[in-house]
Each structure stands twice: as C-alpha cells, then as structure tokens.
Amino acid sequence: MAHDLHDPPVLEPGTLRILPLGGIGEVGRNMTVFEIDGKLLVVDAGVLFPEETQPGVDLILPDFEPIKHRLDDVLAIVLTHGHEDHIGAVPYLLRMRADIPIIGSTLTLALIEAKLKEHRIQPFTHTVKEGQSEKLGPFTVDFLAVNHSIPDALAVVIQTAGGTVLHTGDFKMDQLPLDDRITDLRAIAHWGEKGVDLALTDSTNADVPGFTALERDIGPVLENVIARAPRRVIVASFSSHVHRVQQVLDAAHANGRQVALMGRSMVRNMTIAADLGFLRVPEGILIDHKKAANLPDDKIVYMSTGSQGEPMAVLARMANLEHQIEIGDGDTVILASSLIPGNENAVYRVINGLMKLGAKVVHKGTARVHVSGHASAGELLYFYNVLRPKNVMPVHGEQRHLVANADLAKATGVPEQNVLVTENGTVVDLRDGVARVAGQIDIGFVYVDGSTVGEITDADLKDRRILAEEGFISIFVAMDAQTGKVVVGPEIHARGFAPDESIFDDVKPQIIKALSEAAANGTRDTHAFSQVVRRTVGRWVNTQHRRRPMIVPVVIEA
C-alpha cells in the first residue's frame, strides 16, 4: 500500500523508530535503521542487482540520504549474514564514516573484511554468535541461530525502552541442515514468552505453499547426475553458497573426479569458508582450473559463478563460445541456483544456447539440484505461532511476497491493524506495544556505475534506454543568425537508426525552411534555433518512421 508522503514528527524520547532504506518491495539492498533517544543502529546494508531496464548500472545501493548527516549517531552496523544483498553496500557506507563498528558472525565478518580489503578499508569488527547479547547504548541486541543458503546466519532481537523487535534476517527452517545448525525454535519460543512487540519477517517465499525442501535432498541428486555424466560437468551456483559447493565436492569425490573453482569471488569465498572450517575439502580434490584442462573429461567438475553472484554470466559466455571452457557434445551443465524473479527469459535463452552446443542441462525445473534459502508459507505459519508477536512488518520481498506474508500473520491471529505492509522509506514508530506508520520519506535509487556512485539519475537511464531502443540522430548546421540563411549543412548523422543516410534528404529542406521562418519571426539565439531543428526532425521521424530517437541538434553562427 502506498503511504502519503509526509515527514514523520520529531521522535519522542522512549519511542523506537524503524526506517527501512531498502529491501521492501524488492529482493535486494536490504537495510533497516533503528532509532531511539538520538542513537541509530543499522541492520544490514546490501545491494540490489540491476534489471534490463537499467543499462550500464553495476549495482544499486540503499538511499543513505536520511542518515547522511547523522552518521556520528550510528552505534554499529549489525549484519545478519554474508550475502551481497545484505553486506554489499557496507563499503559505500564506510566511505562516509570509516569507523562505524561492524557486528556479525565469524563467516559473515570474514566475507565483509575480504570485500572491504578490495575497497582499501580497514574496518572495526566485533564477532558474535548465537546466544550472545550485546549492549549498544540504548539497544540490547541478542543473536539467534537461523539457517539459510549460507552458513552462520543470525536473526537479531533488539530490546529498547520503546519495545522489543525480532528481525529474522533471511531464514528457513531446514530441520536436517548439512551443518546440523538448525533455526533455533526454542530461542524463538523463549522470546515469544518474554513478549515481542514487532516481528520483521523474511517474505521471499511467503507465496510458496508448504515447506522448503531439505538441502540434504540435493546431495544424492547431484551425485547421481555426476555419476551418469559421460564427459565434463559444469556446475553453476552463487559464489557464497558454501553448502552447495560442499555437496559438489562430495559428489565429485564419490565419483573419482577433481573440482576446479572458477571465478574470483568463488575462489575467494571458498578459501575463506575452508580456512574457517565451514567447508570440508577432501584431500587432493581441488585443482587449479589451468591444470584441469589436462585431466580426462570424465575426471573433472568445474564449479563456476558470475562476478556479481550471477551464475548466468559465466554460462552465457559459455553458451556464446566466449569462455575458456568450450561446451560440446556430452558435457553436462547443472544450474544449482534459483531463478531470480524477472530473469526467467534470460535463463532459458542460456539453457537453449548450451543445449544447441550439445550439452545436457539440468536445472531445478528438471531435477532437485537447488532448494531455496527462504521459509515457505508453512514455516512462516509455524514461526508466527511459536513467536506470537504483537505486530508484524513483512520485509525482504516484492509486493506480492509482502502481502502473502501479511496474510499468513493475520491467519495466525495477529490483528489486521497490527500487520503493517510498508515500503522503503515508511517510518514506523513503536511504543507501549503499538506499532504505527508515522510518516513516509522519499527514498530513491542510488546507482553505482563504474567508479561513480549516485551520479547517474533515472533521466540518464531513460536516455540510455532510448539510445538502445530508438537510436540517435545528430544534426549540424552553421547559419547566419541575422538572415536565417544556412551556410553549412544541415549535416545529419545517425546511429542505430537506418543503414542509409540518404533517407534524410527529405527532411533537410524542411530544416532550412523552418530556420529561415524562425529568423523572419525574430529568432536570433542559437539555442532557440537548435530547438527549431529538434522539433522539425522529431516531427518528421515520428510521422515518417514511427520512431522516437534521441535528437541532438548543434547550431552555430557562421
């Protein structure tokens, strides 16, 4: 639901304010700010990956604007787990104030430290684990174990004078997880007994009925696919999915194959996971990808990813024969990752390309080679029944996910007026067990494009889309401003519009005529003349060719 734009009132002492800066109405750039008595606590700071309608953009950040002038009041950034959509924006936040302490679990901090090293930032970190409690000014923060598609994930309970909030982070309830670390239902029940005023709950799979399948079910399927593969096997997964890599290592080992990790982020993350004991690497199983080419085809598994955690990037290059691994007859490609909403067409295009080259492609539509890291509807119902929160605010999901999650909360008995479906920038105030929307601030997209952050606007992206879809026409004219007589030109150049520039012969006399009429009517300014040129060419292109290209007129005085 859209909230009217109005700034929230000044925050009263003893009231807890919750402000999501990203992650609501979208899957990505998760970031929530908690404020009480003049102090701020940030939970997660992630990135969102761009869509096809955002050409040239590398990453999208949360909008830091509402807290920019208050960075000295930020006590810490608490990270729930090590995925890009929860930690990717931390370097950009620390560029504004480098000494904000970062709190998280062992693996999460190791991943963010490696990322910050690339940004040449030396962070202040503090490691926590489930069962631990930390006092941060007016906030007391407790940490609970939850399982997800990356190890060492945490939910956080934030106790303040204004009330107690449980933020699940990303979670599911795998009852037989590979690392035997289950989502701590006993701790959730314990907090339920003590009383939770507001639950911020992961909504990603709220519209999926039943229960998320077990990670454990995947191992045997992978082993079976690899056992039957006649030649090379290429597995694509997210670069932080330690459990999935573990299953591939185990399945390869069982079939007498060695594994080559492909992609810088994959190598970096798995080295960290192995060093910390989250990944068990069987002796002699890993091989450098340069040496892998010397092995027989039936003795190798390539484990690959894309640089942005986008496995399709590498596979797309393979499908287009632009990768060092040339896919051919008898190769097996396993897509061990989820389809990000909106990406389906691109994925099927890559699958078709790989099959054309003779590969067998196995994906979650044809075999159980991936399960989600998020709780489905059945698990969320359990969660609400165990926790019994007074108020619920669904987070982490598109609109359809948030609404589905809200409906589940209501079904378990949370009163309708206590379930808040919000959007980024919706200000929620909590006091005496009552959570209410106190205002809505305008939140924008902050685009990272190469080395620029926040310089690119929506108008620039619109220009890029026009350039991509409609082409570009430039017109150069030198004229005598007094008489309106054209001295040189009009010279017309087009890109992405038509193969032959002779089609512009029709419009040139129209431009000359329009300029002389404008001069006769008293126009003397080159800017005004260039607008005349733009209108003339625009009208002609639209009526004759049904196109709306970008038109750039240059008029100078001779």
Tell me what the mean pLDDT of segment 232-247 comes to. 89
| Percentage of residues in the chain having pLDDT higher than 90 | 57
CATH class assigned to 458-557: alpha beta
Residue 340: predicted pLDDT: 61
If pLDDT is split at 50, 70 and 90, which confidence band does 95 have? very high
User: What's domain 16-210+372-449's superfamily in CATH?
Assistant: Ribonuclease Z/Hydroxyacylglutathione hydrolase-like (3.60.15.10)
What's the confidence (pLDDT) of residue 312?
62
Residue 249 has pLDDT above 50, yes or no: yes
| Range with the largest mean pLDDT of 154-158, 292-296, 366-370 | 154-158
Residue 325, pLDDT > 80, answer yes
Cα(34)–Cα(430) distance, integer angstroms: 10
The pLDDT confidence band at residue 308, using thresholds 50, 70 and 90, is very low
Cα radius of gyration (the chain): 28
- The label of the residue with tokens 């290209």 reads 549
Contact 235, 266 (CB under 8 A): no
Reported confidence tier of residue 307, pLDDT bands at 50, 70, 90: very low
Concatenate the DSSP letters of all residues of 358-395 into one string: T-EEE-TTTS-----SS-BHHHHHHHHHHH--SEEEEE
- Whether residue 250 has pLDDT greater than 70: yes
Q: Is the pLDDT of residue 453 over 80?
A: no
The CA distance from 142 to 162, in Å, is 16
Q: What is the mean pLDDT of residues 360-364?
A: 87
Q: What is the mean pLDDT of residues 124-132?
A: 97
| Residue whose C-alpha is closest to residue 306's, from 260, 265, 364 | 265
Query: Would you state the pLDDT for residue 557?
Result: 80
pLDDT tens digits for range 413-448:
999 999 999 999 999 999 999 999 999 998 888 877
pLDDT tens digits for 184-206? 999 999 999 999 999 999 999 99
Check pLDDT > 70 for residue 306.
no
Q: Which is higher by pLDDT, 206 or 311? A: 206
Out of 5-14, 383-392, 429-438, least confident range: 5-14
Asked whether residue 473 carries a pLDDT value surpassing 90, the answer given is: no
With 0-12 / 13-18 / 19 or more C-beta atoms within 10 angstroms meaning exposed / middle / buried, residue 284 is exposed
User: What pLDDT is recorded for position 168?
Assistant: 96
Q: Hey, what are 41's tokens? A: 């606590």
112 band by pLDDT with thresholds 50, 70 and 90? very high
| pLDDT confidence of residue 466 | 67
Report the C-alpha dihedral over residues 103, 104, 106, 112, rounded to 10 degrees. Answer: -80
pLDDT at 336 > cutoff 90: no
- The percent of residues in the chain predicted with pLDDT above 70, rounded, is 91
- Predicted confidence (pLDDT) at residue 309 exceeds the cutoff of 50: no
Going from N- to C-terminal start, the domains of the chain cover: 16-210+372-449, 215-362, 458-557
Sorting pLDDT into bands at 50, 70 and 90, what band is 163? very high
50 has a pLDDT exceeding 90: no
Report pLDDT for 495.
Answer: 77
Q: What is the pLDDT of residues 61-89, one digit of tens each?
A: 899 999 999 999 999 999 999 998 999 99
Q: Topology of domain 215-362, per CATH?
A: Rossmann fold (3.40.50)
Helical residues (DSSP H) of 204-343, grouped into ranges: 218-228, 242-254, 264-275, 289-292, 311-319
**pLDDT, mean of residues 168-188:** 95
Residue 370: what pLDDT? 84
Query: Going by DSSP bridges, is the β-strand pair 59-61/485-495 parallel, antiparallel, or unpaired?
Result: unpaired
Bigger pLDDT: 73 vs 27 = 73
Q: Do domains 16-210+372-449 and 215-362 have the same CATH topology?
A: no
Of 433, 410, 437, 431, residue with least CA distance to 194 = 433
Three-state DSSP at 552 gives strand
Question: Between these two residues, 39 and 455, which has the higher pLDDT value?
Answer: 39
